[in-house]
Amino acid sequence: MKTNKKTQELIITGLRIHGITKISQVISQAAVNDGFAVKTSEFVKQQLMLNEVCHIRWGKSVDSPLISKGECGIFLCFNPISATDIIADYLSPEGVILVDTSKPYLGILDDPVSDQAIRPATNKTFNLPDKLLKLLKPRSATRCLGLHSVVGQIFPLLNRLSNTVIRVDAFELAQKSGNIKMVNFVMLGALLASGVLTIKTESVISSINMTTSSAEADDFIKALEFGMTQIKNRRKL
């Protein structure tokens, strides 16, 4: 556990649909509630399937809103396949990675890319020039959300890079908690329960109440607590 005096750095990566900016908002206010200085940088998009990144730093005093390379102590990754370059650049040697392994978001494909990737149907429907067909070859198979077989190769690398890689199936947990949209708060709960943050859980809960309408806040806190208990139970086992 780090001392309260040191600045803590957190990077959250994910798709728009994961709602990572909400976590950024909640943590910022929670850090302020705890008497820290805080700064965040948010790289955002509107389309649900596009990648977003949030840098969050808090501590006694914070200058830069962006984290320096190789200095990020905590990673929270949804859709880890799109985060590989960010992890490679920013993770500190003693950094912790909390990663969402849920399948439906991870891969359109479960099987490795085959040469059959371009199927006749595509060719017939679109009558594409050769140049584009070449582009399409891997595309139609792997596409956008990442390839499960590739994801399988990422985890050994992450384990070599960091001593603490916590895997959480956020989608499954969110489904169990009763609302599949709550992947973000389930993961935040898991992060809080893992004990790496200097921010107190009570401050996070009061931050949720401060930033959100009361109807939504109840749902968020429920998902948060669900994520926390899951991780705590796991540790007991």
Partner 1 sequence: MPLIELDAKLIVNKQLRTPVGISGAAAIARGIIESGVRVVTGYPGSPCSEIIENITLSAKSFDINAEWSINEKVAFEIAASAAMAGTRAAFITKSAGMNWASDPLITMSYAGINAGMVVISGDDPGALNSSTEEDTRYYSKMSKIMCMEPSDQQEAKDMVVEAYSLSEKINLPVLIHTTNRILYGRSKVFLGDIIKLTNNTKFKKEMNRWFVAGSIAANRHKWLIRQQRQLKIASNESRFNKASLSPCAEYGVVTTGVSFFYVKEVLSKMGLEGRVSLLKIASINPLPLKVIKEFLSRHKTILVLEELAPLIESGLKIIISENPKHAGIRVYGKLSGDMPENGYYNPDMVSSFIEKKLAARLPRVADKDEVRSKLKEFNNTILPYKQHILCPGCPHRASFYALSRAMEKTSEDFIIATDTGCYALGAFFPFFKGDLLFNMGSSISVAAGFGLSKYGKRAIAVIGDGTFMHNGLQALINCVSKDMDILAFVLDNNTLAITGLQSPVATSIEELSKAAGAKHVEVCDPFNTDMMQQKIEDALKARGPRVVIARHKCAQLTRKRAGQNGTKPGAYKIDERKCGNCRLCIDSLACPAIYLKDNRVHINESLCSACGLCTAICPKSAIIKL
Applying the rule CB under 8 A, the residues between 111 and 140 that interact with partner 1 are 111, 119, 121-122, 125-128, 132, 135-136, 138-140
How far apart are the C-alpha atoms of 55 and 35, rounded to whole Å?
A: 19
SS (H, E, C) 3-60: CCCCCEEEEEEEEHHHCHHHHHHHHHHHHHHCCCEEEEEEECCCCCCCEEEEEEEEEC
Closest CA to 112 of 78, 153, 163, 77: 153
157 binds partner 1 (CB under 8 A): yes
Complex with partner 1: residue 3 or 153, whichever CB lies closer: 153
Q: Does residue 206 belong to the site contacting partner 1 (CB under 8 A)?
A: no
Nearer to partner 1, 30 or 98 (CB): 30
The answer to the question of residue 4 lying near partner 1 (CB under 8 A) is no
**Minimum distance, C-beta of residue 94 to partner 1, in the bound complex (Å):** 10
Element (H, E) at 216: helix 214-236
The CA-based diameter of the chain, rounded to the nearest angstrom, is 63
Helix, strand, coil tally for the chain in percent (to 5): 55, 20, 25
Map residues 78-117 to x or -, x wherever contact with partner 1 holds by CB under 8 A: ---xx-xx-xxx-xxx---------xx--xxxxx------
Please report whether residue 167 would count as binding partner 1 according to CB under 8 A. Answer: no
Number of residues that bind partner 1 (CB under 8 A): 85
In the region spanning residues 171 to 200, those forming contacts with partner 1, defined by CB under 8 A, are 171, 180
CA distance 146 to 113: 11
Q: How far apart are the first and last CA of the chain?
A: 22
Q: Binding marks (x or -) toward partner 1, 13..52, rule CB under 8 A?
A: ----x---xx-xx--xxxxx----xxxxxxxxxxxxxxx-
Quick one: which of 96, 98, 147, 197 contacts partner 1 (CB under 8 A)? 147
154 binds partner 1 (CB under 8 A): yes
- The piece of 60-68, 187-195, 218-226, 227-235 that touches partner 1 (CB under 8 A) is 60-68
